[in-house]
């Protein structure tokens, strides 16, 4: 599995566990909805560190949790 695929699956799982929609998470993470959509769909294989940090913070996990 590619790193982008792992990241997208992990974000989806963690978001679902918190009961958040993509829109909820994008707002909470202060990123564009389209950016989150691209990361979650695996369109963006290597999201920026800033984007990953914002998503991790919004999900209350470390970046390591998202990439492994």
CB–CB of 53/11 below 8 Å? no
Over 80: is that where the pLDDT of 2 sits? no
Over 70: is that where the pLDDT of 31 sits? yes
Over 80: is that where the pLDDT of 22 sits? yes
Please return the burial class of 66, using the count of CB atoms within 10 Å of its CB with bins 0-12, 13-18 and 19+. buried
| Domain of residue 44, CATH code | 1.10.260.40
Domain of 47 in residue numbering reads as: 3-67
Q: Tokens 């991790």, residue?
A: 56
pLDDT of residue 34: 97
DSSP label of 32: -
The pTM (predicted TM-score) of the whole model is 0.93
pLDDT of residue 1: 66
Average pLDDT over residues 17-24: 97
The count of structural domains within the chain is 1
């Amino acid at each position: 599995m590619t790193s982008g695929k792992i990241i997208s699956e992990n974000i989806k799982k963690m978001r679902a566990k918190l009961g958040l929609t993509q829109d909820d998470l994008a707002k909470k993470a202060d990123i564009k909805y389209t950016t989150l959509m691209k990361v979650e769909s695996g369109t963006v294989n290597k999201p920026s560190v800033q984007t990953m940090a914002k998503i991790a913070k919004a999900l209350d996990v470390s970046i390591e949790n998202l990439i492994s």
